[in-house]
Chain A
């Protein structure tokens, strides 16, 4: 059932500097997680995306970019699915 999603996850993981990726549904339940992305972060990922959507409710959901010293995280919502990609900066 989740073959297509697994394929997408594999593709993302092959991208250079990507260390992990995670997908969650609108209830914050994890659909797929690989690499450094932890299953438990699915709910928080969706909560962050929900809060960011409130900034401009009439526009399409924004891409959120979280940055630390050596890592970064991109969060993007598409319909009911929220995806998160963890990357090394350098």
Chain B
């Protein structure tokens, strides 16, 4: 199942110009499935970078605008788009001029695969 999903993520990366990687992790940043090209910044793939989203989305949800769904971070040469699919987090890293709207549209294409993964991750956390 994971291999199929990885292949599918590789296929999605090729479809969006400037997209360097797609990571599906748990909220601590532990990778569940990852599809990475050689252009992806290695520092941004580390769990300590990805896990900050967990805190950020919790704080953003307290702004009175409802539950936070997505955080887009624009840097000088990269953009990071993280989606709240708790217990899972999806992270997209692309170049600064990459098509943000196209990446956001990938959400609906990945979502069907997340149901089973989310259940597995939730079960694993329960056992810990």
A residues near B, CB below 8 A? 24, 26-30, 40-47, 50
> Contacts A27-B99, A28-B99, A43-B99 known; A50 to B104 CB distance under 8 Å?
no
A62 to B90, CA, bound (A): 35
By DSSP majority rule, is chain B's interface helix, strand, loop, or mixed? helix
- How far is A43 from B103 in the complex, measured between Cα atoms in Å? 7
- Which residues of chain A are within 8 angstroms of B64 by Cβ–Cβ distance? none
Residue ID in chain A nearest B16 by CB atoms: A47
Please name 14 pairs of A and B residues whose Cβ atoms are closer than 8 Å in the assembled complex, sorted by A.
A28-B100, A28-B103, A30-B101, A41-B105, A43-B100, A43-B101, A43-B103, A43-B105, A44-B102, A46-B101, A47-B17, A47-B99, A47-B102, A50-B17
Chain B residues whose C-beta falls within 8 Å of the C-beta of A43 in the assembled complex: 99-105
Number of A-B contacts (CB under 8 A): 40
Closest A-B pairs by Cβ, 6 of them: A43-B101, A28-B101, A43-B102, A28-B99, A27-B100, A42-B101
CB 8 Å contact bits of B95-118 with A (1 = contact, 0 = none): 001011111110010000000000
Residues on A with beta carbons closer than 8 Å to the beta carbon of B100: 27-29, 43
Residues of B within 8 A of A (CB): 16-17, 97, 99-105, 108
Whole-angstrom CA separation of A24 from B99 in the bound complex: 11
In whole angstroms, what is the CA distance A44 to B108 when docked? 13
Bound Cα distance A27, B16 (Å): 12
The residue in chain A whose Cβ has the minimal distance to the Cβ of B108 is A40
Does B105 lie within 8 Å of A44, measured CB to CB? yes
Question: Which of chain A's residues has its CB closest to B102's CB?
Answer: A43
Q: Are B101 and A24 closer than 8 Å at their CB atoms?
A: yes
Which has the most chain A C-beta neighbours within 10 Å: B99, B101, B102, B103?
B101
Q: Which residue of B lies closest to A51 (CB)?
A: B17
